[in-house]
Structure 1
Amino acid sequence: MSRPQDTEDATLHGLAVSNNLPSLVLLVERDPTIDLNARDDFGYTPLHLAADRGHAPIVEFLLKKGVDRKIQDEDGLVAVELAEAAGHDEVARLLSSS
């Protein structure tokens, strides 16, 4: 997976990458209309980024917020496939259930 540099920032995607759940919750509370399915410059959603890195708390939060787990990245992969490929079994189970 080609990915942006893993630097922590206050963007939706940056918070997913850095596994910063408290700041992500705050961001969503401050802007309830934020598009949690938004794609970054590489075509990844926050769910793709969190799943690929094994960030179960972020994945769980995004799923509870109703993100679309069927969105494909530029390679045609969905978040569960990224989690499986990276060996993140717990995250893959979260994405496969419900």
Structure 2
Amino acid sequence: MNLHDWIDELCDVLDLETEVDEGLLNDLAEVAHDDVGPRASAVTAYLVGFAAGAADADPAAVERLAAKAQRLAESWDRPAGARDPDDVDDDVPDDEEVDHTLDADEEEE
């Protein structure tokens, strides 16, 4: 597969008039994959592209955006695959000593 040809064809299909530095994006995606996690690679490249498009960025500006994303990925403080601490289930208290006989009556109402 010739990646450059794929990019040219995809840009035609998406009606995009742009140049893409596939080496830059692939390097960034690899860093995000390795330092953040496998699913981070595609979304990182997408968001850098989105930011570049929103800013009508020239190639130098795209490189600066990619460098910002790469610095963030390289300094990411959670190892790849680590759960977000906000998503961790809290301990459920043991309530076997609690009388739940009225709970059934409340559900019927």
TM-score range, shorter chain: under 0.3
TM-score, structure 1 as length reference: 0.25
Bigger CA radius of gyration: 2
Structure with more of its chain in helix, by fraction: 2
